[in-house]
Structure 1
Amino acid sequence: MTDFNLPADGVFLGRIWSPEARGPSVVTIRDGSVFDITSKQAPTVRDICEMADPAGYVRNAEGTVVGELAEIAGNAGDRGRPHFLAPCDLQAVKACGVTFASSMVERVIEEKAAGDPKKALEIRTRVGDIIGGSLRNIKAGSPQAAQVKAALLIEGLWSQYLEVGIGPDAEVFTKAQVLSSVGPGAEVGLHPVSKWNNPEPEIVLAVSSKGTIVGASLGNDVNLRDVEGRSALLLGKAKDNNASCSIGPMIRLFDKTFTLDDVRQAELDLTVTGEDGYVLEGHSSMKEISRDPADLVAQTLGRHHQYPDGLVLFLGTLFAPTQDRNTPGEGFTHKIGDVVTIASPRLGSLTNTVRLSTQCPEWTFGLASFMRNLAARNLI
């Protein structure tokens, strides 16, 4: 584990597990050191995200040095030593799907193949010939999008995934439960029933209860392609399992050096390294997103739906791995022990190791434990 490759010019907000406090502490980074800035005024990351100027508060907050960033980053998973957690706490964990044209095509293929990777290869060429490049510049919900929908209906290739990809309404779902996300260095989990799965490298926005976007992080929306491909009604099983959501390494708060426009221009790199020496590299460019991040937030939170503790929102991914790993025509799927690294120059890097969800540590520190811990520390 490294120091997450965090850029020196950012204001970063995160959480660590504190053995002394037997619970989480709110931290920031200053000159390569981890500072505990937990206080009665702001005992949670949620409280800071609700402030008028989160970056200004974190920049000036009093704190105590916990240790060097590189050292604490290397303690991943060791509950006896300080180690980083997912940077969100009380926020709801939501995600948007089918927000990129090329991944949209892959979702259509998954649905048509019903979870069969061999059949997916046969379908991929036919679908790609009709819609592969034609959706890249289409604005979701536009008259042009309606024309594309009509053409695809004639071809018998219309899909529920294309409906949310270019129709008026975005797909927004609950990715994980509050406090269940894992952080940098942790193990990420695959449900044992899945035989075809992949990482999904994404930008994750931190959003206040008022709908203000206050910062961004990286995330791995671990996906079970065969489960979701069998039926969209299995989305919950495909997405929400023990340790199936990773966020980190920290939230970079918006300020003069980093804004939503930087998110819109962000480039993400993905590397998967297997114990067998296999290496997969991928890339995702936010410039190719089909819906603007601000629109995705507005469709998630507003008068129609409130989140009193705010939310973190996965924005979707351009990356859909089709490279064969073992059997020709069956594409990519994870193997236990894969090391997944998602990196972006302005946000650092997020690294996790793939296990079965039944092998990952059980999630036991929930809301009741968190509230009791804060109360015992006289923070609430």
Structure 2
Amino acid sequence: MNKKVWLAGRAATVGAHVLSEKIRTVPPRAAADVPTSGVALTPEWLTAVLCRGVPGAKVVSWHSPGGSSGTSERAALRVVYNAAGRAAGLPTELFTKSSASFTQRLLLGGADVLHGETQFFLTFRPEVEMEAPRGYWGAVDEKSWRSIIVLEDIDASKGATFVHPTAPLTRGQVEDVLRNMAAYHGAWWGAPELKVLKTPTDHYNNVADMLDFEARCKVGMERADAVIPAALRGRADRLWAGTKEGLRTCTDDLPTTLLHGDSHAGQTYITADGAMGITDWQVVMRGGWSYDVAYFISSACRPEDRRAWERDLLEHYLEHLAAAGGEAPDIDEAMLRYRQSLFYPLSAWTFTIGRAWYQPKMQPDEISLAIIERIATAIDDLDAFAAVGV
């Protein structure tokens, strides 16, 4: 079936569910129930999902001190347990992300990322020693595309400060993020459990089937013309060919591991102790290690810092990858794979700034422009076209 026809049908179904939920809301009671939002909860439901495995434990009350809305609905939770729950040390400072609105459900469901954080936090996260939130429950209702994930509230539990996407990071902070990447890459290197996840090519196809990805990237290149190196201006077609080849490489040519999938600095945080962590695992996927590493280094580092640190950063990552159980390539191959993987990050951000009127504004233009400049400069500096043969 044509994906756009299918999506139109899903939109009608999801819209009908959203409307019916406004007319008659059924409070969630059992773990199998998926709430209509992250605050449409009951003590019974919270008991079912948070107290499983602890005999006699119950949630007696809860409240939300606040939240925000974006591509998902976010809300902090504070939970009070009975004596059995308190004795077991069950988590009290929590955070929910949910697909509450029609647009959130259609965007996340159409892009096939509703299951991402549930898969990461319940299956993959427990097996990795890294700085990232802990997850306690996640579920998706396939008919309505309602979804919810219940996480550790790292703002409260760790005093986390979330990093601005273009904030200047120190070399030590960049290395700390790369150690985290090496930890989850190494822990899940070649694991058969990864088969449930989409690949980089799958993710691109999911988005492109909803929107004209290539056309929006071309518009984004035009809008970002002033910050793009002269050698890349007017080369949207060649950059797009590089994107397709880079995605193919990360999907087909490299050993498979766990990927974050959207690894810019805005997905990181700093704990009160100064440790760097990684959050927002909505786009989790499987593919080649360089997808995450190239995306992070090229978008998070200012050009002058990247030029000074680049090779050392890769060597640092490879050392920790080997220690975590991955098969680290030598530095020359790693540099090649890094160069080959620079194109999709650029396309992701030109797509963001090249949005059509009907697309959500996912980032302010000034952030998109700053990151496009960083990645485009890396492509130019490293002759990434030669690395992919286009």
Do they superpose with TM above 0.5? no
Interval containing the TM-score (normalised by the shorter chain):
under 0.3
- Report which of the two has the higher share of helix: 2
What TM-score does the superposition give when structure 2 sets the normalisation length?
0.24
Q: With a CA cutoff of 8 Å and minimum separation of 6, indicate the structure with the bigger relative contact order.
A: 1
How does the TM-score come out when normalised to structure 1? 0.25
